[in-house]
Copies of this chain bind each other. A is one copy, B any other.
Amino acid sequence: MANESTFQLFTRSAFGLEPGCRVGVQFKALATPAALTRGELAPLDQHFDQLVFVARGATKLAAHASEDREQIVAFHFGGDIVSIPAEGLYSYTLTALVDTELLSFPAREFFDFAATEVSTSRALMDRLPRALHRCRDKAVALGQKSALERLAGFLLAMSERVGVTEGNVVILELPMSRRDIGDSIGLTIETVSRQLGALRDAGFIATQGRSRIALLDLEALRKSAGFAPLPTDISPQLGKFDLDQCDAVQARLPEPETGRI
Q: Identify the A interface with B (CB < 8 A).
A: 47-49, 63, 65-66, 69-71, 73, 83, 85-90, 107, 111-112, 114-116, 118-119, 121-122, 124-126, 128-129, 131-133, 135-140, 142-145, 185-186, 226-228, 231, 233, 235-236, 243-244, 250-252
Contact = CB atoms under 8 A, between A and B. Distances in A.
Given A87-B235, A235-B86, A228 B139 contact: no
B65 A145 contact: yes
Given A86-B235, A231-B87, A111 B137 contact: no
24 contacts: A49-B129, A49-B133, A65-B145, A66-B228, A71-B139, A71-B140, A71-B143, A71-B144, A83-B129, A85-B133, A85-B136, A87-B231, A88-B235, A89-B250, A89-B251, A90-B140, A90-B228, A111-B125, A114-B121, A115-B118, A115-B119, A116-B118, A128-B129, A139-B139
A66 B115 contact: no
Q: Is the interface of A mostly helix, strand, loop or mixed?
A: mixed
B88 A133 contact: yes
Chain copies in the assembled complex: 2
A229 B244 CA distance: 29
Contacts of A129: 49, 83, 85, 107, 128
A118 B125 CA distance: 13
B227 A89 contact: yes
Nearest to A84: B133
